[in-house]
Structure 1
Protein backbone atom coordinates (compact mmCIF):
# COMPACT_ATOMS: atom_id res chain seq x y z
CA UNK A 1 0.00 0.00 0.00
CA UNK A 2 1.61 3.32 -1.05
CA UNK A 3 1.89 6.14 1.48
CA UNK A 4 2.88 9.81 1.29
CA UNK A 5 3.68 12.53 3.80
CA UNK A 6 1.13 15.23 4.64
CA UNK A 7 2.50 18.72 5.16
CA UNK A 8 2.98 18.04 8.88
CA UNK A 9 4.80 14.75 8.31
CA UNK A 10 1.94 12.35 9.08
CA UNK A 11 2.13 9.44 6.67
CA UNK A 12 -1.12 8.72 4.84
CA UNK A 13 -2.02 5.51 3.00
CA UNK A 14 -3.85 5.52 -0.31
CA UNK A 15 -4.73 3.40 -3.31
CA UNK A 16 -4.79 4.46 -6.97
CA UNK A 17 -6.33 2.26 -9.65
CA UNK A 18 -8.40 2.41 -12.80
CA UNK A 19 -8.59 4.85 -15.68
CA UNK A 20 -10.91 7.71 -16.50
CA UNK A 21 -12.20 10.72 -14.59
CA UNK A 22 -10.69 10.93 -11.12
CA UNK A 23 -12.96 9.82 -8.28
CA UNK A 24 -11.54 10.41 -4.80
CA UNK A 25 -13.22 8.21 -2.20
CA UNK A 26 -13.34 9.49 1.38
CA UNK A 27 -14.67 7.15 4.06
CA UNK A 28 -16.73 7.72 7.19
CA UNK A 29 -15.52 8.60 10.67
CA UNK A 30 -14.25 5.17 11.74
CA UNK A 31 -13.98 3.64 8.29
CA UNK A 32 -11.14 3.24 5.81
CA UNK A 33 -10.53 2.76 2.10
CA UNK A 34 -11.72 -0.86 2.18
CA UNK A 35 -15.29 0.45 2.38
CA UNK A 36 -14.97 1.29 -1.31
CA UNK A 37 -13.99 -2.17 -2.55
CA UNK A 38 -17.40 -2.52 -4.29
CA UNK A 39 -16.80 0.80 -6.09
CA UNK A 40 -13.41 -0.39 -7.32
CA UNK A 41 -14.87 -3.72 -8.45
CA UNK A 42 -17.66 -2.02 -10.43
CA UNK A 43 -16.10 1.21 -11.70
CA UNK A 44 -12.31 0.80 -12.04
CA UNK A 45 -12.84 0.38 -15.78
CA UNK A 46 -14.69 3.69 -15.98
CA UNK A 47 -12.83 5.94 -13.55
CA UNK A 48 -9.47 6.46 -11.89
CA UNK A 49 -10.40 5.63 -8.33
CA UNK A 50 -8.33 7.08 -5.50
CA UNK A 51 -8.97 5.84 -1.97
CA UNK A 52 -7.48 7.64 1.00
CA UNK A 53 -7.14 6.44 4.57
CA UNK A 54 -7.60 9.60 6.60
CA UNK A 55 -5.07 10.20 9.37
CA UNK A 56 -5.74 7.89 12.26
CA UNK A 57 -7.53 5.31 10.12
CA UNK A 58 -6.56 2.14 8.28
CA UNK A 59 -2.96 2.18 7.09
CA UNK A 60 -2.33 5.86 7.89
CA UNK A 61 -0.41 7.13 10.91
CA UNK A 62 -2.20 8.17 14.06
CA UNK A 63 -1.79 11.85 14.87
CA UNK A 64 -0.10 12.70 18.17
CA UNK A 65 -2.68 15.49 18.60
CA UNK A 66 -6.22 14.10 18.41
CA UNK A 67 -7.60 17.59 17.75
CA UNK A 68 -6.14 17.26 14.24
CA UNK A 69 -8.96 14.81 13.54
CA UNK A 70 -11.18 17.56 12.13
CA UNK A 71 -12.82 18.38 8.80
CA UNK A 72 -10.43 21.18 7.84
CA UNK A 73 -7.29 19.13 8.46
CA UNK A 74 -8.76 16.11 6.69
CA UNK A 75 -9.70 18.28 3.71
CA UNK A 76 -6.10 19.50 3.53
CA UNK A 77 -4.94 15.88 3.55
CA UNK A 78 -7.26 15.07 0.65
CA UNK A 79 -5.85 17.98 -1.35
CA UNK A 80 -2.33 16.86 -0.42
CA UNK A 81 -3.02 13.49 -2.03
CA UNK A 82 -4.16 15.19 -5.23
CA UNK A 83 -1.03 17.36 -5.18
CA UNK A 84 1.15 14.32 -4.52
CA UNK A 85 -0.28 12.65 -7.63
CA UNK A 86 -0.26 15.82 -9.75
CA UNK A 87 -4.07 15.93 -10.08
CA UNK A 88 -5.66 19.35 -10.51
CA UNK A 89 -9.33 18.40 -9.98
CA UNK A 90 -11.26 15.38 -8.79
CA UNK A 91 -14.80 14.30 -8.10
CA UNK A 92 -15.35 13.16 -4.52
CA UNK A 93 -17.41 10.25 -3.30
CA UNK A 94 -17.83 10.99 0.38
CA UNK A 95 -19.41 8.54 2.79
CA UNK A 96 -20.79 10.15 5.96
CA UNK A 97 -17.88 12.20 7.39
CA UNK A 98 -16.15 11.94 4.02
CA UNK A 99 -19.11 13.81 2.56
CA UNK A 100 -18.71 16.53 5.18
CA UNK A 101 -15.08 16.86 4.14
CA UNK A 102 -16.19 17.16 0.51
CA UNK A 103 -18.67 19.94 1.31
CA UNK A 104 -16.00 21.74 3.36
CA UNK A 105 -13.66 21.58 0.37
CA UNK A 106 -16.41 22.95 -1.88
CA UNK A 107 -16.62 26.00 0.37
CA UNK A 108 -12.88 26.69 0.39
CA UNK A 109 -11.31 24.95 -2.61
CA UNK A 110 -14.10 24.62 -5.14
CA UNK A 111 -11.65 24.88 -8.04
CA UNK A 112 -10.23 21.48 -7.07
CA UNK A 113 -13.57 19.69 -7.37
CA UNK A 114 -15.32 18.38 -10.48
CA UNK A 115 -18.33 17.03 -8.58
CA UNK A 116 -19.48 15.54 -5.27
CA UNK A 117 -21.44 12.37 -4.51
CA UNK A 118 -22.67 12.18 -0.92
CA UNK A 119 -23.29 8.77 0.60
CA UNK A 120 -25.89 9.05 3.39
CA UNK A 121 -24.92 12.48 4.66
CA UNK A 122 -26.33 15.97 4.38
CA UNK A 123 -26.40 19.38 6.03
CA UNK A 124 -28.58 18.16 8.92
CA UNK A 125 -27.32 15.29 11.08
CA UNK A 126 -29.90 13.52 13.18
CA UNK A 127 -29.16 13.55 16.96
CA UNK A 128 -30.21 9.93 17.44
CA UNK A 129 -27.70 8.85 14.82
CA UNK A 130 -24.93 10.80 16.53
CA UNK A 131 -25.90 9.25 19.86
CA UNK A 132 -25.63 5.78 18.32
CA UNK A 133 -22.16 6.59 16.96
CA UNK A 134 -20.97 7.89 20.34
CA UNK A 135 -22.20 4.67 21.93
CA UNK A 136 -19.56 2.62 20.09
CA UNK A 137 -16.94 5.18 19.06
CA UNK A 138 -13.48 4.34 20.39
CA UNK A 139 -14.62 1.07 22.01
CA UNK A 140 -13.62 -2.48 21.10
CA UNK A 141 -16.43 -4.23 19.18
CA UNK A 142 -16.52 -7.26 21.47
CA UNK A 143 -16.40 -9.91 18.72
CA UNK A 144 -14.03 -12.88 18.83
CA UNK A 145 -13.34 -12.95 15.10
CA UNK A 146 -14.90 -12.12 11.73
CA UNK A 147 -17.19 -15.16 11.84
CA UNK A 148 -18.45 -14.18 15.28
CA UNK A 149 -19.07 -10.63 14.08
CA UNK A 150 -21.02 -11.88 11.05
CA UNK A 151 -23.15 -14.14 13.28
CA UNK A 152 -24.08 -11.29 15.61
CA UNK A 153 -24.40 -8.51 13.03
CA UNK A 154 -26.78 -10.69 11.00
CA UNK A 155 -29.14 -10.62 13.98
CA UNK A 156 -28.43 -7.24 15.58
CA UNK A 157 -28.59 -5.19 12.37
CA UNK A 158 -31.40 -7.07 10.63
CA UNK A 159 -33.96 -4.36 11.37
CA UNK A 160 -32.06 -1.61 9.58
CA UNK A 161 -30.19 -3.70 6.99
CA UNK A 162 -32.63 -6.06 5.32
CA UNK A 163 -31.57 -9.06 3.27
CA UNK A 164 -27.83 -8.74 3.97
CA UNK A 165 -26.17 -12.14 3.77
CA UNK A 166 -23.81 -13.63 6.36
CA UNK A 167 -20.97 -13.33 3.83
CA UNK A 168 -21.69 -9.62 3.33
CA UNK A 169 -21.56 -9.07 7.08
CA UNK A 170 -18.28 -10.94 7.29
CA UNK A 171 -16.84 -8.75 4.53
CA UNK A 172 -18.09 -5.70 6.43
CA UNK A 173 -16.35 -6.90 9.60
CA UNK A 174 -13.12 -7.54 7.70
CA UNK A 175 -13.14 -4.00 6.32
CA UNK A 176 -13.89 -2.36 9.64
CA UNK A 177 -11.85 -4.33 12.20
CA UNK A 178 -8.75 -6.53 12.38
CA UNK A 179 -8.43 -9.98 13.90
CA UNK A 180 -6.09 -10.44 16.88
CA UNK A 181 -5.64 -13.28 19.40
CA UNK A 182 -7.65 -11.19 21.87
CA UNK A 183 -10.56 -10.59 19.48
CA UNK A 184 -11.41 -8.00 16.87
CA UNK A 185 -9.52 -4.72 17.26
CA UNK A 186 -10.14 -1.23 15.92
CA UNK A 187 -8.59 -0.09 12.66
CA UNK A 188 -8.68 3.53 13.76
CA UNK A 189 -7.30 5.68 16.55
CA UNK A 190 -9.68 5.35 19.53
CA UNK A 191 -8.92 8.98 20.39
CA UNK A 192 -11.32 9.91 17.58
CA UNK A 193 -13.88 9.74 20.37
CA UNK A 194 -12.15 12.61 22.17
CA UNK A 195 -11.98 14.68 18.98
CA UNK A 196 -15.70 14.27 18.28
CA UNK A 197 -16.61 14.97 21.91
CA UNK A 198 -14.51 18.14 21.97
CA UNK A 199 -16.00 19.38 18.70
CA UNK A 200 -19.53 18.68 19.92
CA UNK A 201 -18.90 20.52 23.19
CA UNK A 202 -17.57 23.52 21.28
CA UNK A 203 -20.51 23.44 18.84
CA UNK A 204 -17.89 23.56 16.09
CA UNK A 205 -20.31 22.83 13.19
CA UNK A 206 -23.51 24.79 13.92
CA UNK A 207 -24.93 25.02 10.38
CA UNK A 208 -23.93 22.95 7.36
CA UNK A 209 -26.45 24.30 4.83
CA UNK A 210 -23.97 26.96 3.58
CA UNK A 211 -21.55 24.12 2.80
CA UNK A 212 -24.21 22.34 0.78
CA UNK A 213 -24.96 25.59 -1.05
CA UNK A 214 -21.25 25.78 -1.93
CA UNK A 215 -21.85 22.82 -4.26
CA UNK A 216 -23.82 25.12 -6.57
CA UNK A 217 -23.14 24.46 -10.26
CA UNK A 218 -21.12 21.33 -9.48
CA UNK A 219 -22.50 17.91 -10.46
CA UNK A 220 -23.99 16.47 -7.26
CA UNK A 221 -25.43 13.10 -6.33
CA UNK A 222 -26.98 11.86 -3.10
CA UNK A 223 -27.38 8.26 -1.97
CA UNK A 224 -29.51 7.64 1.12
CA UNK A 225 -30.25 4.50 3.06
CA UNK A 226 -34.01 4.12 3.54
CA UNK A 227 -33.49 3.38 7.26
CA UNK A 228 -30.74 5.93 7.88
CA UNK A 229 -30.59 7.43 11.37
CA UNK A 230 -28.12 10.12 10.24
CA UNK A 231 -29.75 11.54 7.10
CA UNK A 232 -33.51 11.92 7.48
CA UNK A 233 -35.98 11.67 4.60
CA UNK A 234 -36.97 15.27 5.29
CA UNK A 235 -33.40 16.54 4.96
CA UNK A 236 -32.91 14.56 1.75
CA UNK A 237 -36.14 16.04 0.38
CA UNK A 238 -34.96 19.55 1.16
CA UNK A 239 -31.63 18.86 -0.52
CA UNK A 240 -33.51 17.70 -3.61
CA UNK A 241 -35.69 20.82 -3.49
CA UNK A 242 -32.66 23.08 -3.36
CA UNK A 243 -30.87 21.09 -6.07
CA UNK A 244 -33.55 19.74 -8.42
CA UNK A 245 -30.80 18.66 -10.81
CA UNK A 246 -29.17 16.45 -8.16
CA UNK A 247 -28.99 12.72 -8.84
CA UNK A 248 -30.84 11.06 -6.00
CA UNK A 249 -31.14 7.41 -5.01
CA UNK A 250 -32.76 5.92 -1.93
CA UNK A 251 -31.54 2.42 -1.17
CA UNK A 252 -34.29 0.23 0.32
CA UNK A 253 -33.48 -1.92 3.33
CA UNK A 254 -30.32 -0.05 4.22
CA UNK A 255 -29.41 2.10 7.20
CA UNK A 256 -26.34 4.23 7.75
CA UNK A 257 -24.53 3.63 5.46
CA UNK A 258 -25.35 1.82 2.18
CA UNK A 259 -22.59 -0.56 1.12
CA UNK A 260 -22.50 0.96 -2.41
CA UNK A 261 -22.97 -2.42 -4.05
CA UNK A 262 -26.77 -2.07 -4.17
CA UNK A 263 -28.35 -1.60 -7.63
CA UNK A 264 -29.71 1.85 -6.72
CA UNK A 265 -26.30 3.03 -5.51
CA UNK A 266 -24.50 1.59 -8.54
CA UNK A 267 -26.93 3.32 -10.92
CA UNK A 268 -26.53 6.67 -9.15
CA UNK A 269 -22.73 6.41 -9.20
CA UNK A 270 -22.77 5.53 -12.88
CA UNK A 271 -24.91 8.56 -13.73
CA UNK A 272 -22.69 10.76 -11.56
CA UNK A 273 -19.52 9.61 -13.31
CA UNK A 274 -21.07 10.44 -16.68
CA UNK A 275 -21.44 14.04 -15.48
CA UNK A 276 -17.82 14.39 -14.37
CA UNK A 277 -16.25 12.99 -17.53
Structure 2
Protein backbone atom coordinates (compact mmCIF):
# COMPACT_ATOMS: atom_id res chain seq x y z
CA UNK A 1 0.00 0.00 0.00
CA UNK A 2 1.85 3.17 -1.18
CA UNK A 3 2.34 5.76 1.54
CA UNK A 4 4.62 8.68 2.29
CA UNK A 5 5.34 10.63 5.44
CA UNK A 6 4.61 14.35 5.65
CA UNK A 7 6.94 16.93 7.17
CA UNK A 8 4.86 16.84 10.36
CA UNK A 9 5.00 13.07 10.63
CA UNK A 10 1.70 11.78 9.22
CA UNK A 11 1.59 8.74 6.96
CA UNK A 12 -0.63 9.49 3.96
CA UNK A 13 -1.98 6.99 1.46
CA UNK A 14 -1.90 7.56 -2.28
CA UNK A 15 -2.22 5.60 -5.51
CA UNK A 16 0.04 6.03 -8.54
CA UNK A 17 -1.06 4.31 -11.72
CA UNK A 18 -0.29 4.54 -15.43
CA UNK A 19 2.34 6.33 -17.48
CA UNK A 20 2.44 9.69 -19.16
CA UNK A 21 1.44 13.16 -18.08
CA UNK A 22 1.41 13.37 -14.25
CA UNK A 23 -2.13 14.16 -13.11
CA UNK A 24 -2.61 14.77 -9.39
CA UNK A 25 -6.22 14.23 -8.36
CA UNK A 26 -7.42 16.06 -5.25
CA UNK A 27 -10.78 15.00 -3.86
CA UNK A 28 -13.72 16.69 -2.18
CA UNK A 29 -13.83 17.69 1.49
CA UNK A 30 -14.85 14.36 3.05
CA UNK A 31 -13.72 12.13 0.20
CA UNK A 32 -10.55 10.36 -0.83
CA UNK A 33 -8.78 9.11 -3.94
CA UNK A 34 -11.72 6.88 -4.82
CA UNK A 35 -13.55 10.11 -5.74
CA UNK A 36 -12.00 9.64 -9.20
CA UNK A 37 -12.92 6.00 -9.68
CA UNK A 38 -15.52 6.71 -12.36
CA UNK A 39 -13.35 8.95 -14.53
CA UNK A 40 -10.09 7.01 -14.18
CA UNK A 41 -10.78 4.45 -16.95
CA UNK A 42 -11.35 7.28 -19.43
CA UNK A 43 -8.06 9.09 -18.84
CA UNK A 44 -5.54 7.50 -21.16
CA UNK A 45 -1.93 8.56 -21.45
CA UNK A 46 -1.73 9.97 -17.94
CA UNK A 47 0.01 8.99 -14.74
CA UNK A 48 -2.93 9.14 -12.38
CA UNK A 49 -1.92 10.07 -8.83
CA UNK A 50 -4.65 10.13 -6.20
CA UNK A 51 -4.08 11.39 -2.67
CA UNK A 52 -6.04 10.59 0.47
CA UNK A 53 -5.86 13.79 2.51
CA UNK A 54 -4.86 13.65 6.15
CA UNK A 55 -7.80 12.36 8.16
CA UNK A 56 -9.48 10.79 5.13
CA UNK A 57 -9.57 7.37 3.52
CA UNK A 58 -6.56 5.24 4.38
CA UNK A 59 -4.38 8.13 5.58
CA UNK A 60 -3.47 8.85 9.19
CA UNK A 61 -5.64 11.15 11.23
CA UNK A 62 -3.96 14.31 12.49
CA UNK A 63 -4.75 17.18 14.77
CA UNK A 64 -8.00 18.79 13.58
CA UNK A 65 -6.23 22.14 13.50
CA UNK A 66 -4.18 20.81 10.56
CA UNK A 67 -7.26 19.97 8.48
CA UNK A 68 -6.77 23.19 6.57
CA UNK A 69 -6.42 23.90 2.86
CA UNK A 70 -2.88 25.38 3.12
CA UNK A 71 -1.68 22.31 5.02
CA UNK A 72 -3.34 19.94 2.58
CA UNK A 73 -1.71 21.90 -0.24
CA UNK A 74 1.65 21.44 1.44
CA UNK A 75 0.95 17.70 1.67
CA UNK A 76 0.25 17.64 -2.07
CA UNK A 77 3.55 19.32 -2.87
CA UNK A 78 5.38 16.96 -0.53
CA UNK A 79 3.82 14.03 -2.38
CA UNK A 80 5.15 15.42 -5.67
CA UNK A 81 8.57 15.80 -4.02
CA UNK A 82 8.40 12.23 -2.74
CA UNK A 83 7.57 10.98 -6.25
CA UNK A 84 10.35 13.06 -7.78
CA UNK A 85 7.97 15.13 -9.90
CA UNK A 86 8.87 18.73 -10.67
CA UNK A 87 5.44 19.49 -12.11
CA UNK A 88 1.97 17.97 -12.36
CA UNK A 89 -1.44 18.88 -13.64
CA UNK A 90 -4.13 19.05 -10.96
CA UNK A 91 -7.72 17.85 -11.21
CA UNK A 92 -9.46 19.24 -8.16
CA UNK A 93 -12.96 18.33 -7.06
CA UNK A 94 -14.58 20.89 -4.74
CA UNK A 95 -12.10 21.16 -1.82
CA UNK A 96 -9.43 19.87 -4.18
CA UNK A 97 -10.08 22.77 -6.53
CA UNK A 98 -9.61 25.25 -3.70
CA UNK A 99 -6.31 23.56 -2.89
CA UNK A 100 -5.31 23.86 -6.56
CA UNK A 101 -6.01 27.59 -6.49
CA UNK A 102 -3.89 27.99 -3.36
CA UNK A 103 -1.08 26.10 -5.08
CA UNK A 104 -1.37 28.42 -8.09
CA UNK A 105 -0.75 31.33 -5.72
CA UNK A 106 2.03 29.69 -3.72
CA UNK A 107 3.70 27.06 -5.91
CA UNK A 108 2.72 27.91 -9.47
CA UNK A 109 6.00 26.59 -10.84
CA UNK A 110 4.88 23.07 -9.82
CA UNK A 111 1.67 23.17 -11.87
CA UNK A 112 1.13 22.24 -15.51
CA UNK A 113 -2.54 23.19 -15.48
CA UNK A 114 -5.69 23.02 -13.39
CA UNK A 115 -9.12 21.48 -13.91
CA UNK A 116 -11.82 22.42 -11.40
CA UNK A 117 -14.79 20.19 -10.67
CA UNK A 118 -17.77 22.26 -9.48
CA UNK A 119 -15.85 24.82 -7.49
CA UNK A 120 -14.91 28.45 -7.88
CA UNK A 121 -13.63 31.40 -5.87
CA UNK A 122 -17.07 32.10 -4.42
CA UNK A 123 -19.00 29.40 -2.57
CA UNK A 124 -22.78 29.72 -2.55
CA UNK A 125 -24.02 30.00 1.06
CA UNK A 126 -26.86 27.50 0.61
CA UNK A 127 -24.48 24.81 -0.55
CA UNK A 128 -22.12 25.51 2.32
CA UNK A 129 -24.94 25.12 4.81
CA UNK A 130 -25.82 21.71 3.35
CA UNK A 131 -22.24 20.59 3.90
CA UNK A 132 -22.17 21.88 7.47
CA UNK A 133 -25.38 20.01 8.22
CA UNK A 134 -24.03 16.53 7.48
CA UNK A 135 -20.30 17.01 8.07
CA UNK A 136 -18.87 14.75 10.76
CA UNK A 137 -22.18 13.15 11.67
CA UNK A 138 -22.44 9.38 11.32
CA UNK A 139 -25.38 8.25 9.17
CA UNK A 140 -28.39 6.66 10.81
CA UNK A 141 -28.82 4.22 7.91
CA UNK A 142 -27.42 0.74 8.39
CA UNK A 143 -26.44 -0.58 4.96
CA UNK A 144 -24.98 0.58 1.68
CA UNK A 145 -28.21 -0.45 -0.04
CA UNK A 146 -30.26 1.79 2.26
CA UNK A 147 -27.89 4.69 1.68
CA UNK A 148 -27.99 4.23 -2.08
CA UNK A 149 -31.78 4.31 -2.06
CA UNK A 150 -31.81 7.39 0.16
CA UNK A 151 -29.33 9.29 -2.01
CA UNK A 152 -31.32 8.52 -5.15
CA UNK A 153 -34.45 9.85 -3.45
CA UNK A 154 -33.02 12.91 -1.70
CA UNK A 155 -30.45 14.25 -4.17
CA UNK A 156 -32.98 15.74 -6.55
CA UNK A 157 -30.30 17.82 -8.29
CA UNK A 158 -29.19 14.55 -9.87
CA UNK A 159 -31.27 12.85 -12.54
CA UNK A 160 -30.73 9.85 -14.79
CA UNK A 161 -28.32 8.16 -12.39
CA UNK A 162 -28.51 4.34 -12.49
CA UNK A 163 -29.04 2.52 -9.17
CA UNK A 164 -25.68 0.76 -9.37
CA UNK A 165 -23.94 4.15 -9.44
CA UNK A 166 -25.66 5.24 -6.24
CA UNK A 167 -24.70 1.94 -4.64
CA UNK A 168 -21.05 2.36 -5.58
CA UNK A 169 -21.13 5.94 -4.27
CA UNK A 170 -22.44 4.66 -0.95
CA UNK A 171 -19.67 2.05 -0.82
CA UNK A 172 -17.05 4.73 -1.43
CA UNK A 173 -18.41 7.23 1.07
CA UNK A 174 -19.20 4.90 3.98
CA UNK A 175 -17.88 1.72 5.56
CA UNK A 176 -20.54 -0.88 6.29
CA UNK A 177 -20.12 -2.64 9.65
CA UNK A 178 -22.28 -4.89 11.81
CA UNK A 179 -23.22 -1.75 13.74
CA UNK A 180 -24.22 0.23 10.67
CA UNK A 181 -22.52 2.68 8.36
CA UNK A 182 -19.40 4.55 9.45
CA UNK A 183 -17.69 7.63 8.08
CA UNK A 184 -14.53 7.14 6.03
CA UNK A 185 -12.93 10.25 7.53
CA UNK A 186 -12.08 11.75 10.89
CA UNK A 187 -15.35 13.23 12.26
CA UNK A 188 -13.31 16.00 13.87
CA UNK A 189 -13.07 17.47 10.38
CA UNK A 190 -16.35 19.10 11.33
CA UNK A 191 -14.64 21.06 14.10
CA UNK A 192 -11.98 22.34 11.72
CA UNK A 193 -14.49 23.46 9.09
CA UNK A 194 -16.87 25.11 11.56
CA UNK A 195 -14.01 26.93 13.25
CA UNK A 196 -12.82 28.19 9.88
CA UNK A 197 -16.37 29.21 8.99
CA UNK A 198 -16.53 31.39 12.09
CA UNK A 199 -14.04 33.71 10.41
CA UNK A 200 -14.99 36.13 7.60
CA UNK A 201 -14.74 34.48 4.18
CA UNK A 202 -11.58 35.72 2.49
CA UNK A 203 -11.60 37.04 -1.06
CA UNK A 204 -10.60 34.06 -3.18
CA UNK A 205 -10.64 35.82 -6.54
CA UNK A 206 -6.91 36.60 -6.30
CA UNK A 207 -6.32 32.84 -6.03
CA UNK A 208 -8.38 32.28 -9.15
CA UNK A 209 -6.48 35.02 -10.95
CA UNK A 210 -3.21 33.38 -9.86
CA UNK A 211 -3.97 30.60 -12.35
CA UNK A 212 -3.37 33.07 -15.18
CA UNK A 213 -1.26 31.46 -17.88
CA UNK A 214 -2.09 27.92 -16.80
CA UNK A 215 -4.37 25.79 -19.00
CA UNK A 216 -7.66 25.86 -17.12
CA UNK A 217 -10.92 23.94 -17.25
CA UNK A 218 -14.01 24.11 -15.08
CA UNK A 219 -16.80 21.55 -15.00
CA UNK A 220 -20.01 22.66 -13.29
CA UNK A 221 -23.06 20.65 -12.36
CA UNK A 222 -25.93 22.51 -14.01
CA UNK A 223 -27.94 22.14 -10.77
CA UNK A 224 -25.02 22.90 -8.44
CA UNK A 225 -25.80 24.58 -5.13
CA UNK A 226 -22.13 25.41 -4.51
CA UNK A 227 -20.93 27.00 -7.76
CA UNK A 228 -23.54 29.57 -8.77
CA UNK A 229 -24.24 30.56 -12.39
CA UNK A 230 -23.14 34.10 -11.53
CA UNK A 231 -19.75 33.00 -10.19
CA UNK A 232 -19.29 30.66 -13.15
CA UNK A 233 -20.05 33.52 -15.54
CA UNK A 234 -17.48 35.77 -13.84
CA UNK A 235 -14.88 33.00 -14.03
CA UNK A 236 -15.49 32.76 -17.76
CA UNK A 237 -15.30 36.53 -18.13
CA UNK A 238 -11.94 36.66 -16.37
CA UNK A 239 -10.62 33.61 -18.22
CA UNK A 240 -12.22 33.55 -21.69
CA UNK A 241 -9.75 30.82 -22.63
CA UNK A 242 -11.06 28.53 -19.85
CA UNK A 243 -12.70 25.33 -21.01
CA UNK A 244 -16.09 25.65 -19.32
CA UNK A 245 -19.01 23.24 -19.39
CA UNK A 246 -22.32 22.79 -17.57
CA UNK A 247 -23.22 19.14 -17.02
CA UNK A 248 -26.99 18.59 -17.22
CA UNK A 249 -28.80 16.52 -14.57
CA UNK A 250 -25.96 16.97 -12.09
CA UNK A 251 -25.61 18.91 -8.87
CA UNK A 252 -22.58 19.09 -6.60
CA UNK A 253 -20.56 17.21 -7.78
CA UNK A 254 -20.52 15.71 -11.31
CA UNK A 255 -19.13 12.17 -11.39
CA UNK A 256 -16.74 13.29 -14.20
CA UNK A 257 -17.57 10.42 -16.55
CA UNK A 258 -20.48 12.29 -18.14
CA UNK A 259 -19.92 13.04 -21.86
CA UNK A 260 -19.63 16.78 -21.19
CA UNK A 261 -17.14 16.25 -18.39
CA UNK A 262 -15.00 13.87 -20.41
CA UNK A 263 -14.96 16.13 -23.44
CA UNK A 264 -13.77 19.04 -21.30
CA UNK A 265 -11.08 16.96 -19.61
CA UNK A 266 -9.82 15.51 -22.88
CA UNK A 267 -9.58 18.98 -24.43
CA UNK A 268 -7.77 20.26 -21.34
CA UNK A 269 -5.30 17.37 -21.33
CA UNK A 270 -4.59 17.94 -25.02
CA UNK A 271 -3.53 21.50 -24.11
CA UNK A 272 -0.98 20.11 -21.64
CA UNK A 273 0.75 17.66 -23.92
1:209-257 Cα offsets, whole Å, 9 max, x none, are 0000000000000000011000001110110010000001110010000
* In structure 2, C-alpha distance between the alignment counterparts of 1:14 and 1:235, rounded to whole Å: 32
Number of aligned residue pairs: 273
Are 1:61 and 2:63 an aligned pair?
A: no
* In structure 1, C-alpha distance between the alignment counterparts of 2:183 and 2:135, rounded to whole Å: 10
1:169-193 Cα offsets, whole Å, 9 max, x none, are 0011111111111111000010111
Are 1:201 and 2:220 an aligned pair?
A: no
1:114-263 matches, cutoff 5 A: 114-157=112-155, 159-203=156-200, 205-263=201-259
Are 1:276 and 2:266 an aligned pair?
A: no
In structure 1, the residue matched to 2:26 is: 26
In structure 2, the residue matched to 1:77 is: 75
In structure 2, the residue matched to 1:16 is: 16
Query: Residue 91 of structure 1 is aligned with which of 89, 94, 107?
Result: 89
1:126-179 Cα offsets, whole Å, 9 max, x none, are 00001000000000122211111111111111x200011110000111111111
1:39 deviates by 2.3
Calculate the TM-score normalised by the size of structure 2. Answer: 0.98
* In structure 2, C-alpha distance between the alignment counterparts of 1:22 and 1:13, rounded to whole Å: 17
* In structure 1, C-alpha distance between the alignment counterparts of 2:57 and 2:196, rounded to whole Å: 22
1:4-38 Cα offsets, whole Å, 9 max, x none, are 10011100000001111111000010011101012
1:175 counterpart SS class: helix
Structure 2: runs of 5+ lacking an equivalent: none
Calculate the TM-score normalised by the size of structure 1. Answer: 0.97
Q: Which moved more, 1:143-152 or 1:263-272?
A: 143-152
Are 1:40 and 2:51 an aligned pair?
A: no
In structure 2, the residue matched to 1:50 is: 49
1:202 deviates by 2.3
* In structure 1, C-alpha distance between the alignment counterparts of 2:3 and 2:39, rounded to whole Å: 21
Structure 1: runs of 5+ lacking an equivalent: none
1:253 counterpart SS class: coil
